[in-house]
Structure 1
Amino acid sequence: MAAVPSPAPGAPVKLSGLSSRVVLRVVLIVVLVVLALWLIYELRRPLTWVFIAGFVAIALSGPVNLLQRRMRRGFAIALVYFGLILVPVLVAAMLVPPIVEQLNLLIDNLPQYVTDLQQFVAKNEQLRQLEQDYNITAELQKQASSLPARVGDAAGILSGIGLGLVNSIFAGVTILILSLFMLGSGRGWLNWVAERQGHERAAWLNRLFDRIGNAVGNYVAGALGQALVAGVLAYIVLLILGVPYAGSLAVVIFLLDLVPLVGATLGAILVGVITVFNDFPTATIVWTIWSIIYQQVENSIIQPWIQARAVQVHPFVVLVSVLFGSTLFGVLGALLAIPVAAAIQIAIIEYNSFRRPENLGAVRAPVPAREPPEPEPEPA
């Protein structure tokens, strides 16, 4: 029987047909991938902030470029950010006072509401029988009387809400600062990246960046325009119906209409519940009919007309992207889903255009060599 020859010195050891070098390389790649995924998971919050900051910077680049025609870019950025900070302050000033007032009114009048309920139950035979069996109104009266004393017990809940509010404010300030840096220097960073890819690739990348920026900016402008139309019309209808705090409710409609697919419905339901306590059933019926009609008009006329000029994304892609975004990141994911889908679509289209044979030929065409200079005549 012939002896098995031993491997030559320095040759890689074979393991089941694989060299030790290949096995080591595979193990190293797996370890690096796992390490990268772990690092991304640990940094998911700041990475999300950076992503949102980039979206904000792209969305604000349009107003900044418009103001830059009349003033320096630094002043334009400062003016746009001042307006951006002023918006939530004005929204809070319009929403917080009515909410606090209505909560105080509810707490003060809750015992009277229970008394009215007792009188209503006493006039209804079936409800009176339920009252005798379960003593419902007496329990409600007991809970209503003890409600003011329980305000102190809610300190723990309020502290948790306050801590969450502080964290949200910190995240918002961080995102604004990051977007400020991106808006001021982001184009220079993109140009630096593009210039490192060669002349042809640089032109393609610049075109890609411009198209994505235009799509995101147009989407934001279209969404704001659509929400503004919904808020103004809702304000007019609520004024006609005599619903109190029509301005605050119109702001709620405006904000919720920014959420794709379900935002307008949620706003209509919320305002409809409020009309129940104001002028039931007239105001509630009129508001319900108006909401149904307007949502049909918005979905079939206003939204397609606005978004067709903003982002050209198939409705199926819009639905799937909103579902994925809302599942992964909640309301924020739903807000960012459509512009992200538009950016991905633009990137795919531009990449396919760049990879066409004629474009590849242009990219890979060799630069013609220069003719060597003629030698100068030697002096006689």
Structure 2
Amino acid sequence: MHDSDAESVSPLVRRAAAWSWRLLVILAAAVVLFEVLRRFGLVVVPVALALMLSAMLLPAVDFLDRYGAARGGAVAFVVILGLTVFVGILAFVISQFVDGLPGLVEQVTNSIDTLRNWLIDGPIHLSRDQINHAGDSVIKSINEHQTQLTSGAVSTAGTVAELVTGGLLTFFTVVFFLLGGRNVWQFVTRVIPTDARERVREAGAAGFHSLAGYARATCLVALVDALGIGIGLAIMGIPLALPLASLVFLGAFVPVVGAVITGFLAVIVALLTKGLVFAAITLGLIVAVMQLEAHVLQPLVMGRAVSIHPLAVVLGITAGSVLAGIVGALLAVPIIAFLNSFIRVVMAPDPTARGEALAGEDGLLLDAGVDETI
């Protein structure tokens, strides 16, 4: 009876059903895995950030180690130096904003007054009562939503403890990764069956090498973006040019969209303080820098570090932002870069193919990747 029932079903339908239940099982496993990672986000996110930071700092630690410095001393020196640079940049940005904010407020006030006079005396000929009514409407809307704004501020204040905890966890994880990350990776892979253990270790080496290359290339691209936009803003006399350039540098760590979004802040500042012409010039400057990044820096710098199709980058950032907000957008492309190399090596059928996968599409052998693996 069962045989006749099976024979009455089209082979295409049977194959579709077989694929369907397998895909449903895979999807269910992925949902469960994501839910577990989300619930342990306070641990997962700091570890992921620590892995990226370790990929950036490990070459410097290894360099000092090769020239006779004690491993612990090298780690301490590199971590303290990196932390000092980060805190210095952050303090510089905050101080520049504080110093430039009064002048910016004054210029914005003058721009608003000029706009108001133009609306009254210009071709539109609005009355002062209409303008005052519009202003009162805005103030009323803010007052009506004051509860939501206040609750949002309280919620934000409530996350300070989580941010501090995550920051400390990231710091200590980076230190231990730099000290003995290779031993950690060797220990973790002991759960892999013996016949596949070496391949998984090679795949981890390749993935970490791609992650390190991506991190260093992203730093270089972000620096060029910040210098190009910052110099242009300074030449035009846009207020807060240096803090805006620093924000562009930080935003560029989210590929494709990060520098554009932070650069748009510069357009708004230029519009409020210098007018429409300078805002258009600023927008043109940002477009030119983005074209330089897309057609020169990305192929020459990022392309040699890790080869990821732009569509995969855009889709990864979108999916990451939907699933985990800003953190997801920040970590999406590094995860794709790691998995791209990891899966390529794991799926290679023989040692020769694994060697070609380790070599990568651009012919750069990842010998150093085995040494750099965490």
In the superposition, the TM-score normalised over structure 1's length comes to 0.70
Query: Equivalences for 1:113-132 in 2 at 5 Å?
Result: 118-124=116-122, 126-129=124-127, 131-132=129-130
Partner of 2:47: 50
Structure 2 counterpart of 1:48, one-letter code: V
In the alignment, the residues of structure 1 paired with residue 215 and residue 295 of structure 2 have an alpha-carbon distance, to the nearest angstrom, of 19
In the alignment, the residues of structure 2 paired with residue 216 and residue 128 of structure 1 have an alpha-carbon distance, to the nearest angstrom, of 58
Partner of 2:6: none
Q: Structure 2: where are the runs of 5+ without partners?
A: 1-28, 142-148, 355-374
Helix, strand or coil: the match of 2:66? coil
Asked which structure has the greater RCO (Cα within 8 Å, sep 6+), the reply is: 2
Helix, strand or coil: the match of 1:128? coil
CA gap 1:133/1:230 in 2 versus in 1, 3 angstroms: closer
Q: Is the 8 A contact 2:244 2:263 kept in 1?
A: no
> 2:294 aligned with 1:288, yes or no?
no
Q: Is the 8 A contact 2:111 2:272 kept in 1?
A: no
In the alignment, the residues of structure 2 paired with residue 225 and residue 217 of structure 1 have an alpha-carbon distance, to the nearest angstrom, of 13
Partner of 1:93: 91
CA gap 1:163/1:90 in 2 versus in 1, 3 angstroms: farther
CA gap 1:56/1:159 in 2 versus in 1, 3 angstroms: same
Q: Is the 8 A contact 2:239 2:269 kept in 1?
A: no
Q: 1:256 aligns with which of 214, 228, 251?
A: 251
> 2:218 aligned with 1:220, yes or no?
no
> 2:319 aligned with 1:324, yes or no?
yes
How far off is 1:299 after superposition?
Answer: 1.0
Partner of 2:59: 62
Q: Deviations over 1:273-321 (max 9, x none)?
A: 1112333244323222222222122112211211111112233322322
Structure 1 counterpart of 2:227, one-letter code: V
Aligned-residue RMSD, C-alpha? 3.8
In the alignment, the residues of structure 2 paired with residue 245 and residue 58 of structure 1 have an alpha-carbon distance, to the nearest angstrom, of 32
In the superposition, the TM-score normalised over structure 2's length comes to 0.71
Helix, strand or coil: the match of 2:79? helix
* Rg larger for: 1
Query: Equivalences for 1:88-237 in 2 at 5 Å?
Result: 88-101=86-99, 103-104=101-102, 118-124=116-122, 126-129=124-127, 131-132=129-130, 135-136=133-134, 160-194=155-189, 201-237=196-232
Structure 1 counterpart of 2:65, one-letter code: Q
CA gap 1:33/1:227 in 2 versus in 1, 3 angstroms: closer
Q: Is the 8 A contact 1:117 1:137 kept in 2?
A: no
In the alignment, the residues of structure 2 paired with residue 214 and residue 297 of structure 1 have an alpha-carbon distance, to the nearest angstrom, of 26
Aligned length: 320
Partner of 1:348: 343
In the alignment, the residues of structure 1 paired with residue 191 and residue 140 of structure 2 have an alpha-carbon distance, to the nearest angstrom, of 74
Q: Is the 8 A contact 1:272 1:287 kept in 2?
A: yes
Q: Deviations over 1:306-360 (max 9, x none)?
A: 111111223332232222222212222222222211222222221222568999x
Q: 1:277 aligns with which of 272, 277, 283?
A: 272
Structure 2 counterpart of 1:238, one-letter code: L
CA gap 1:283/1:92 in 2 versus in 1, 3 angstroms: same
Partner of 1:78: 76
How far off is 1:270 after superposition?
Answer: 0.9
| Range with greater deviation from structure 2 (217-226 or 339-348) | 339-348
Query: Equivalences for 1:358-369 in 2 at 5 Å?
Result: none
Q: Deviations over 1:167-226 (max 9, x none)?
A: 323211111112222222221122234567687645433322221221111000000000
| Range with greater deviation from structure 2 (102-111 or 113-122) | 102-111
Helix, strand or coil: the match of 1:261? coil
CA gap 1:140/1:326 in 2 versus in 1, 3 angstroms: closer
Structure 2 counterpart of 1:92, one-letter code: L
Structure 1 counterpart of 2:163, one-letter code: S
In the alignment, the residues of structure 2 paired with residue 235 and residue 36 of structure 1 have an alpha-carbon distance, to the nearest angstrom, of 42
CA gap 1:168/1:318 in 2 versus in 1, 3 angstroms: same
In the alignment, the residues of structure 2 paired with residue 108 and residue 242 of structure 1 have an alpha-carbon distance, to the nearest angstrom, of 15
CA gap 1:101/1:211 in 2 versus in 1, 3 angstroms: same
Q: Is the 8 A contact 2:52 2:215 kept in 1?
A: no
